[in-house]
Amino acid sequence: MGTGWAAERVAAAIERVAPLAAQRTAAVRPRLERVLAAFAAERLGTHHFASVSGYGHGDLGRDTLDRVFARVLQAEAAAVRLQFVSGTHAIAAALFGVLRPGDRLLSITGRPYDTLEEVIGLRGSGQGSLAEFGITYDELPLSASGAVDGAGLADALSVPTRMVLIQRSCGYSWRPSLAVAEIGRLIEWVKALQPGCVCFVDNCYGELVEEREPTAVGADLIAGSLIKNLGGTIAPTGGYVAGRAELVEQACCRLTAPGIGSEGGTGFDLHRLLFQGLFLAPQMVAEALISAELVAAVFSDLGYAVHPLPAGNRSDLIQAVRFGAPEPLIAVCRAFQACSPVGSYLDPVPAPMPGYASELVMAGGTFIDGSTSEFSADGPLREPYVLFAQGGTHRSHAELALERALVALEPLRAASVTLGGT
């Protein structure tokens, strides 16, 4: 899988992150205890694995799944639905479900993730964006260090605002992810300025990374994907919304229809996978975090800028590596794809993807299409050419993929040195 020197580099990274790996492994137990307590409290049994067909009215398994997720996410209510095709879809349902014409949406974490730009109306037209429904959007730029502009928050909220959007993950930005405690402080500031403002958190990639979820520190509503953290690598599709019961219901009315809301939607007899995925999630999240530490250690040792730094604070699964040129970004994605369990024979090439402003190169050889739960990586083909790695069902997979990546990078690094680069 690699030459001796590449294996030695990865071995050094393994030794470097060993104390962090031990901490992440120890954190599995309290997260798993929370999941098991939710299962026990809702008396989960095999009869909950079956679904009601058709409309799905009175589906006991679905209703139990909602209550289990609400407990795990420390929320008043939750709606977990296979009908959500992605995290972006769940977020869009929350936005359209709560906001009304004339309302104002304010992002206080700068520009949202690429796939929300067309939802808001920052790109595209004629598809029913928030802007086309008369919803005003503003954003508070992040500081140069990637922090929320606390000083500018009061000015930004001097205008009546129905909803504040907080993106927990760094997304495709070179910035720190927001710790749950920081999210709590931001919500306190918002509520002090506008008590009736809804605080909505895009929770994608953040679930079970920390002891608390944003709903435990004042978030009114959160949303995310089931084919990321909480699916435990086996959820076939889906997403969730969680938070205050009336807001969750409003999001469900957008997903289905007013008057139906959370009462509709079959589970296609797939509830077992969602319950089992949630059971596996604490372990999978811990392994993904350890894999992220390995990526940070390997590439920082090579002199590349990484974010977060090894042993840095983490509130999501994403590890960013800045290459500064397209060639190494593509080479690493190709190496990771070659070490994927599915589609290892494929050659990732930059291509457009629905919802994204730039072409993407993506190593995503996962069992669930688009899940990124197995070790994977991607990046937009734009300056400064940053790789975003995530997932990893076991750290050994990341180790093997990193060895391949080092071998693939070596000719490019040698050529750069020859030409007088760094």
Q: What CATH class is the domain 4-28+282-418?
A: alpha beta
Taking 60 as the threshold, does the pLDDT of residue 37 lie above it?
yes
Q: Three-state SS string across 61-86, please?
A: HHHHHHHHHHHHCCCCEEEEECCCCC
Nearest Cα residue to 408 out of 344, 333, 331: 331
∠ CA 99-131-207, rounded to 5°: 55
Check residue 93 and report its DSSP letter: H
CATH of domain 30-278: 3.40.640.10
Q: Where in the chain is the domain with CATH 3.40.640.10?
A: 30-278
Taking 80 as the threshold, does the pLDDT of residue 354 lie above it?
no
Inter-residue contact 92 to 133 (CB < 8 Å): no
pLDDT band for 2, please (50, 70, 90 cuts). Answer: very low
Taking 70 as the threshold, does the pLDDT of residue 417 lie above it?
no
Q: Is the pTM of this model over 0.75?
A: yes
Inter-residue contact 331 to 408 (CB < 8 Å): yes
Nearest Cα residue to 366 out of 225, 270, 176, 171: 225
Quick one: tokens of 88? 């972006």
Parallel, antiparallel, or unpaired: how do β-strands 198-202 and 221-225 relate?
Answer: parallel
Mean pLDDT, residues 231-239 taken together:
96
Q: How many residues does the chain have?
A: 422
Q: Where in the chain is the domain with CATH 3.90.1150.60?
A: 4-28+282-418
Quick one: tokens of 166? 């907080």
Mean pLDDT, residues 253-263 taken together:
97
Check residue 383 and report its DSSP letter: T
**pLDDT tens digit string along 43-53?**
999 999 999 99
Question: How much of the chain exceeds pLDDT 70, in percent?
Answer: 96
**pLDDT tens digit string along 53-98?**
999 999 999 999 999 999 999 999 999 999 999 999 999 999 999 9
Per the listing, tokens 């690429």 go with 114
**pLDDT tens digit string along 169-205?**
988 888 999 999 999 999 999 999 999 999 999 999 9
Taking 90 as the threshold, does the pLDDT of residue 422 lie above it?
no
Nearest Cα residue to 293 out of 313, 270, 273, 264: 313
Quick one: tokens of 105? 């949406």
pLDDT at 209: 97
Question: How far is the C-alpha of 186 from the C-alpha of 176, rounded, in Å?
Answer: 15
Provide DSSP, 291-322.
Answer: HHHHHHHHHHHTT-EEESPTT---SSS-EEEE
pLDDT at 355: 66
Taking 70 as the threshold, does the pLDDT of residue 346 lie above it?
yes
Provide DSSP, 245-259.
Answer: HHHHHHHHHHHS-TT
Nearest Cα residue to 83 out of 64, 116, 120, 56: 56
SS3 content of the chain, % helix, strand, coil (to 5): 45, 15, 45
Q: What type of residue sits at position 76?
A: E
